Structure 1
Amino acid sequence: MSVILEKAQKLFLSDNDAKVQTGHEFETVNYLVNGKIGIIELNRPDKLNAFNQTMRSELQAAIEMADNNDDLRVIIIRGAGDHFSSGADLKELVSAKHGIEAQLLNEYKPFLSRIAQSKKIYMAVVQGAAAGIGGSLALNCDLVVMAEDACLFQAFAAIGLVPDGGASWHLVNKLGYKKAFELCVEADKLTAQECQTAGLVNRISDQASLQDDAFAWATKLASGAPLSQQYLKRLLQQAQRASLHDTIRQEALYQQFCFNSEDFKEGVNAFFDKRDASFTGK
């Protein structure tokens, strides 16, 4: 067993992690591969997985590694310890020499944009608090699974800041202006149930089964048709800002791409053969 796998064994959060095939050693991030599932784990549990410069850089690197691995279909992002992430490391933040704007645009935006633009499915698995830009990271994923006692914490206003990392976009689109304003100006929390009701979270699990439930869902999704998944991800993102007329045209275009694929032929054959389809992404 490699050194990284031996080290990772001590940090496993579920029985599924014991099947990890490979990984890469970072200082503040664990990157593991289990079949068609990539697992990226924020690993500063003693700091509540707060983002410092090293973690920002390593998360970007881990996401690039996962995104460039053609064997992976679903990428899970989670936090080690009791919390997903408490947001930015305030001790580092207050000593930022060049202000926060450049940091947000040059060190956070690249990995947030990479997730949004990726052909793969990204799933955030949230326990404890997802606060500040940690919450933004979770909301930026395609899917979110949350522990029943977890929360989304918009703490920015409590220290005189405003939401960042795209949080304001997600919140106002899901909650509406008035509720989003109240949440942010009060520096308040949303419970897991409130997040699910608002459409910010897909599923809720109890803490004990959170990781296994998320992995089971990721495994199911990883058996789906990759071309269909990547085009529907792009289509739904575009539909949020497009007209009905333009959306119908875009659907027709992507449908033609999928119709021409080997996966469509396999899906139809599997349907008539009454068997599970084996999709290849071609």
Structure 2
Amino acid sequence: MSAVEHETVTEQFETIKFSVQGKICTIELNRPSTLNAFNQQMRRDLHSAIDMADTNPSVRVVIVKGAGPCFSAGADLKELTAAKHGIEAQIMNEYKPFLSRIIQSDKIYLAAVQGAAAGIGGALALTCDLVVMSEEACLFQAFAAIALVPDGGASWHLVNNLGYKKAFELCVEADKLSAEECIQTGLANHSVAAGDLDEYTCAWAERLAAGAPLSQKYLKRLLQQAQRAGLHDTIRQEAQYQQFCFNSEDFQEGVSAFFAKRQPVFSGK
């Protein structure tokens, strides 16, 4: 690996810490005094940070985490109650764009959750492709406690993973799901001791970043489409994406590495 690939690039936003080292980008929510609650500035900063990560051709994996003991407490209620504009416009114009960017990205987004991922913070974590939680972390659906409903796509994630009845109970009771429950229901991938969260997440990100970018990009699209499509349409889509991958230089490299009994070096071409 060259010296350039080891170079660390950082960008300091008002509410976000942003860094790129090699193929890994880290986006850290950075309002620990408010438990990383979302205000307008954080929404703007996060959108800009995700845009920077997404347009950086060297980045293959993006880690999303929170500073301090909590991933995110959700929306900043002080700002929310003083809002002059409707919450519908805020969700559609300020939250949906960066959540959609994660979904549509060719890169892998990996959430590292410590403490609570509450409200829109939970929706952000669930929108990522993969989730690692510390053992004491939880997903907190706090909306009903203040007479609101889930937003940021949380209801979609919950009902598709938990089923209607369990999702309804969780939301109407403003209840929490432990890290273990999140793993059991498919809302998260792994849980680790709190002190190991960063190391585990970074190691996983490095392994993912060594994978074949084209294969990962089409896999992400394929699984998202398979959630909505029938079996016959999915087989047809698999065939199309498989042809794209088959025609790639990465496939030739993978085959060569297999027969040479060495690790492949993928280029994304």
Query: Does the alignment reach a TM-score above 0.5?
Result: yes
Aligned to 1:9: none
The alpha-carbon deviation at position 20 of structure 1 amounts to: 6.7
* CA distance, structure 1, for counterparts of residue 128 and residue 155 of structure 2: 15
* CA distance, structure 1, for counterparts of residue 12 and residue 72 of structure 2: 20
Q: 5 Å matches for 1:46-65?
A: 46-65=33-52
1:100 to 2:93 alignment: no
Give 3-state SS (helix, strand or coil) of 2:150's partner: coil
Aligned to 2:12: 25
Aligned to 1:141: 128
Alignment partner of 1:192 out of 160, 167, 179: 179
* CA distance, structure 1, for counterparts of residue 142 and residue 7 of structure 2: 35
Alignment partner of 1:237 out of 220, 224, 228: 224
* CA distance, structure 2, for counterparts of residue 124 and residue 95 of structure 1: 30
* CA distance, structure 1, for counterparts of residue 8 and residue 213 of structure 2: 22
Aligned to 1:206: 193
Conserved in 2, the CA contact under 8 Å of 1:20 and 1:32?
no
* CA distance, structure 1, for counterparts of residue 7 and residue 201 of structure 2: 16
Aligned to 1:274: 261
**Structure 2 portions without partners, runs of 5+:** 1-5
The alpha-carbon deviation at position 85 of structure 1 amounts to: 0.1
The alpha-carbon deviation at position 28 of structure 1 amounts to: 0.3
Residue-pair matches, total: 264
The alpha-carbon deviation at position 96 of structure 1 amounts to: 1.0
Q: Deviations for 1:156-204, whole angstroms, at most 9, x for unmatched residues?
A: 0000000000000000000000000000000000000000000000010
Aligned to 1:36: 23
* CA distance, structure 1, for counterparts of residue 200 and residue 16 of structure 2: 22
* CA distance, structure 2, for counterparts of residue 201 and residue 47 of structure 1: 25
Alignment partner of 2:151 out of 161, 164, 183: 164
The alpha-carbon deviation at position 99 of structure 1 amounts to: 1.1
Alignment partner of 2:243 out of 256, 259, 270: 256
* CA distance, structure 2, for counterparts of residue 53 and residue 149 of structure 1: 29
Aligned to 1:117: 104
Q: CA RMSD in A?
A: 0.7
* CA distance, structure 2, for counterparts of residue 20 and residue 154 of structure 1: 39
Q: Deviations for 1:223-265, whole angstroms, at most 9, x for unmatched residues?
A: 0000000000000000000000000000000000000000000
**Structure 1 portions without partners, runs of 5+:** 1-18
Q: 1:82 to 1:224 in 2, by over 3 A?
A: same
1:178 to 2:162 alignment: no
Q: Deviations for 1:100-136, whole angstroms, at most 9, x for unmatched residues?
A: 0000000000000000000000000000000000000
1:84 to 2:71 alignment: yes
Give 3-state SS (helix, strand or coil) of 1:278's partner: coil
When normalised by structure 2's length, the TM-score is 0.97
* CA distance, structure 1, for counterparts of residue 171 and residue 137 of structure 2: 18
When normalised by structure 1's length, the TM-score is 0.93
